[in-house]
Each structure stands twice: as structure tokens, then as C-alpha cells.
Amino acid sequence: MFTLLRGAECYSPDALGTQDVLVGGGQVMHIAPQIDLHSATGLIEEIDASRFWIVPGLVDSLVHITGGGGEGGLTSRTPELALSTAVRAGVTTMVGALGTDSVTRNLPNLLAKARELQAGGIHCLCHTGSYHLPVKTLTGSVEQDIIFVPEFIGVGEIAISDHRSSQPTEHALAALAAEARVAGMIAGKAGIVSVHVGDGPACLEPLWQVCRNNDIPLQQFYPTHINRNPDLFSAGIAFAKAGGVIDLTTSTTPELLADGEVACGEGLRRLLQAKVPAEHITFSSDGNASLPRFDADGRLHGLQVGDPASLWHAVVSAICEHDIPIPVALSVVTRNPARVLKLDDRGTLRPGGPADLLLIDSETLAIDSVMTAGHWRMRSGAVLVQGSFE
């Protein structure tokens, strides 16, 4: 079955103008201003897409697919990600990770959940490990996990500058980064170290120490939650201008914003104004994670849940409220994270690439339809797939 989408405004995420897009065999087959085909009944579905944008499916580099939390006791564990939630959010590629809790949530659980989501049409990968060092692994080492488990592409999220972390030393971080880096080379994967950065005063200094005193480049680390507070945001600017890539978290709450968190749309504008290269910036949702608030003594004051839908909402905010050019706003949730994760076939709209794409209503900027691997998972706002027990 072929699908021909006619007359849409296309972004790769670069602006391509008005184009027809032909999809077949799970791939984008052709993009051109006018594709002429003699339709054979039952073989070609032709869709008038003139009121839509066509954009790549979103790449979410941090999702707690098995749930997270637990900072307020076992009753505060957040739920697993539902397949329909990911589809409705327009996320077609994601990376699952463990966080604070690697006891009641574990790597076998994470891997099983990733494969469940894959069966539903989401391209889902994972990181081995969690917040803590020594790293818990599936096979006995980070190196073997990345080399031998297809879904594992890196390690994390390792926590620094946070009272919930294991307070890792420079030596421990350097050894972990080196192991992940070599494993990634051998496996042909990113071998990235995803780093959860808390609100501690050290900010990104633990990563700088590793890179100053060892043969580890900044790009080996992928720090997230950079918009958590003004001090960390400033530290993130320096990190990105020195060649690193920083990740902003789109899930937030009014309470967190009142505490100094920077909304992603505003954050992107400020980063660009500070001359941070756009390709060094990504957004992720932190979906299904806990969003705790602690007082100065480390006591939990409240907890909410990360939302994958916040990823697209942040893009819309960047475009509509902060005048970010559409290609730039799209790149931080498509091509940029795919490049960091070395997923070269994801995050772009191009002939020969996977047919993971979204139809965006050009007036409301709402996600209308979602396609993965050439199959519609949502059409006209109606989700067509669900997990087995939704």
C-alpha cells in the first residue's frame, strides 16, 4: 500500500516549501513539488494535505517508560508510559531510562517495556544504568550491555549535583564515560552518558573536571534539565558554547516555574540570543518521571508527573510566543537529538528514510495525524493503536 500526501508545507526540519510526499514500504519514497501517479484502486491512498505541515516524527531522548518517582514512598511511584500517550504526543522515537529508583524499577523491566512499545510502532531504545554509581547492568557491565543488547545505546541518567545521586567522584565518572565511549565505538552506537543534573550549586562542574583532567570530550556527556534554575541555565550556556550539547526539559509546572525553572520556549530564545549554536540544543519531555519539589532541607513538598505531550507544546510555544523560526524549533526535537544519539535514520524527512512523520494543522499547530514505519497510528486526532491493557 502506498500513501501520497499532496500539497503540504514540508519541513525536514529545514523548510522544503509545498511538496507532495510519497510513502511506501515503511519509507519515504519521494518528495517533490508534484508527484504524478496513475492510481491503481486499492494500491494508493491519496490524501489532500494542503492544510497541513508535514514534519518528522518527534525524537524524545529521555522518557521514563517504566515510570519513575518514589521520592515520597512507594505510593508515589509514577505509572508506566501508555502506547497511546506516546502516539498522541507525536513521539515516534524515544529513549527509555531509569532514574532515582533502580530497585522497584529495573533493567529487565525497562527492556521489556521498550520491546512492548516497539511492537506498537514506536522506535524505542534504552540506556543502561540509572542515577547511581556503581552502575547496575543487565549483562554484568556497561560495555557488554551496549555491545550485546540491541536496544541499549548509552548509560544513564547518571545523577550529579543532586542530593539523590550517589555523589560520584571524578575518577568514577571518567571511568564510566570511557567504558561507554569504547562500547559505543565497538557497537556502532552513541555510547553517550546521559546526565541528570540536579539543583546543587556545583551545576556542571563535575563534568568539566572529568574533561579537564582526562581524555574525555565534553560531547561524551549529554546533560539534561539544564533549564532547572538560572544558575544551571547559565552553566549550560558555557557548556554548549564550548562544544557540548545541552538538553532542556519540557515537562514543568507552575510551581517549578515560580521556583526559577526556565520554560523551554523562552530558554531556546535566550540560548540563541547568547550565540549558542542551535545544533547544540535539544528538548526532551522527561515523560512519566516524577517532578518533585524539595525544600532546603531535602524534604519533599510535592510531586507531579512528566508529560510526553509537553514536547510538542514547547515547540508551539517557541514558534508562536518567542518567534523562533519553524526549522530551528523543529530541529531541537527531531534532527538534533537524533544526531546526539547517532540515530542517523531518525529525526529527518527525506527519501529513503523511515516514514515516521506528523501532519500538523497549519492553523492551530495541533498534531492531527501520526505515521510510523509507513502506518497511521493516529488519524484526524483519533488514536488507532493502544497497548494490550489500555
Provide the annotated active-site residues.
Answer: 286
Q: Determine phi and psi for 303, rounding to 5 degrees.
A: -155, 130
Sequence-distant (6+) residues with CB within 8 A of 223 are 195, 197, 204, 207, 236, 239, 244, 246, 247
Number of Cβ within a 10 Å radius of residue 264: 29
Number of Cβ within a 10 Å radius of residue 115: 14
> Which phi-psi region, left, alpha or beta, contains residue 145 (left: φ > 0; alpha: ψ -120 to 50)?
alpha
**Quick check: 343 and 59 in contact, CB under 8 A?**
yes
**Quick check: 316 and 376 in contact, CB under 8 A?**
no
- Cα gap 315→338, rounded to integer Å: 16
**Quick check: 151 and 125 in contact, CB under 8 A?**
yes
Number of Cβ within a 10 Å radius of residue 229: 18
**Quick check: 107 and 128 in contact, CB under 8 A?**
yes
Q: Is 384 helix (H, G, I), strand (E, B) or coil?
A: coil
Q: Dihedral through CA 59, CA 151, CA 179, CA 139, nearest 10? A: 150
